[in-house]
Structure 1
Amino acid sequence: MKRRPVLPVRGACAAALVLVLAAGALMLFPGSVTMTFAVGPDQVRYRTYSWFDSIVWGYGNFLVPLAGVLALGSLSGLAAGLGRNGAFPGTAWGFLIAAGCLSFIPLWLGLTPEGPNWLSIIITVCLWVAAGLLWLARPKADKTA
């Protein structure tokens, strides 16, 4: 016999869907990834770009757009979890965990002497809260010896 999860699957999927949509909208803003450019021997310039900007990809930060694709790829699984039966979206949960781990890269890039990039912090928090909600809604099996 299965024990009941802490949260209902449909409620957790609805809340996670809203959080991932909010994170996806923030990923499109041009201030969400901070990149550092050396313009002289002792001069550094900080520029911010969108997660999906080609400059981010061109300078070798290909994991940042991959995190965005994984986060947005979880939307279909979360939407399927809202269905009549409310099946647990395990693939979407995996995508969110991977996107959450990769979201630490733009978070780390945004920690500059000029201050942190708050959009990166909000995006990372949204992704991890969505993954945490799904963790609370996961089906639990009985512990039998």
Structure 2
Amino acid sequence: MNLPEAMVAATIFSISAVSSLQVWNGSAAWSQSSQRQQDWLVQIDADLQRSEGRLRRLDADLIAPAGCENAIRAMAQAVASPEVALAPQITRRLEILPVSSVLPGQMLVLSYGVNSPSPGSPLIRQRQWSAQAFGLCRQLVSADQP
């Protein structure tokens, strides 16, 4: 093997080694990003379960006589802040929204978003609760209402 052949072989070897390292680096970065997103989703799901548990522990006998609007406010107070601190990339928002014209009352909406620098679809979780679903609202419907 003469000098030009050795130089060509060394160049080809260097190019293939650099390409291989770039592919390996890209897959490692993707794997790490995927694991971070999975960790954030686990935190969000755990907070949702804790919030729903707090709502289930609300005493319907104390809240229901005060009406549906007070019940939704009591629900909002129960889940207003997370019991465990979430990662700084996770945003948590609590809203009270009106329900459609079909259902009377209001809905408690707990939303999570992840502010991630990685490209791709944003991570969003949302849960909606009504006072009626937890037995906290016992409004009677009169017979003449449709």
If the length of structure 1 is used for normalisation, what is the TM-score? 0.32
Larger Rg: 2
Task: Give the structure, 1 or 2, with the largest relative contact order (CA under 8 Å, sep 6 or more).
Answer: 1
So what's the TM-score if we normalise by structure 2?
0.32
